[in-house]
Structure formats: structure tokens, C-alpha cells
């Protein structure tokens, strides 16, 4: 899993111009595979949206990284996430 996570960061996220060290550290530390349904766990680090149910998906790693970088979240910020994914 650690090698797959490393490859995801180096081969997908950095080339997508996500270079914010805080974002890269966060993505490296969060065990993405634990949030993926068991039947899709082998795709946890792939550049693909992962189905969560019949109408929602988990964003691809690149989408999540770009979103985090664009938000430029600060340690003092509060975040309210509504919903586990986006509609297909």
C-alpha cells in the first residue's frame, strides 16, 4: 500500500501540478484505502472515481488534490463537508 500511495503522489498528483507541501503531506498521511469500499480497494490509488453507491462516487486522487490545493485551507479554518461524494 505504501508503494502504491507513493506512486500515486509521484506519478499522478505532482505531474498534475499539485505541489503544495501541506496537500502532499496530507495525501501521504491519510489512508485513502480505508475510505474505499472493499470491493474497490485495489483501485484506491488509481486515477478514477470510485463508486460509493448507486449515485455517489469518491473523487479521483488528482481531483481531491487539486481541490485541496485550490482551497488553500489554513490550520485555523473550519470545514463543513456535505455528502460523501458527488453524483455520477
pLDDT tens for each residue of 2-28: 999 999 999 999 999 999 999 999 999
Please state the domain count of the chain: 1
Domain assignment of residue 88, yes or no = no
In a domain, 81, yes or no: no
Quote the pLDDT of residue 85: 54
Nearest to 14 by CA among 75, 88, 69, 79: 69
Mean pLDDT of the chain: 91
pTM of the model: 0.83
Q: Give pLDDT, residue 47.
A: 95
So what's the pLDDT on residue 87?
Answer: 54
Residue 60 sits in which domain range?
A: 2-73
Q: Would 84 be classed as within a structural domain? A: no
List pLDDT tens digits, range 52-66.
Answer: 888 888 999 999 999
In the sheet where 56-58 sits, what is the strand order? 50-51, 56-58, 86-87
Amino acid at each position: 500500500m505504501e508503494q502504491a500511495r507513493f506512486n500515486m503522489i509521484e506519478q499522478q498528483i505532482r505531474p498534475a501540478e499539485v505541489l503544495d507541501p501541506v496537500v502532499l503531506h496530507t495525501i501521504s498521511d491519510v489512508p485513502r484505502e480505508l475510505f474505499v469500499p472493499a470491493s474497490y480497494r485495489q483501485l484506491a490509488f488509481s486515477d478514477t472515481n470510485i463508486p460509493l453507491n448507486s449515485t455517489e462516487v469518491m473523487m479521483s486522487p488528482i481531483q481531491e488534490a487539486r481541490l485541496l490545493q485550490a482551497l488553500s485551507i489554513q490550520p485555523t479554518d473550519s470545514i463543513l463537508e456535505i455528502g460523501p461524494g458527488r453524483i455520477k
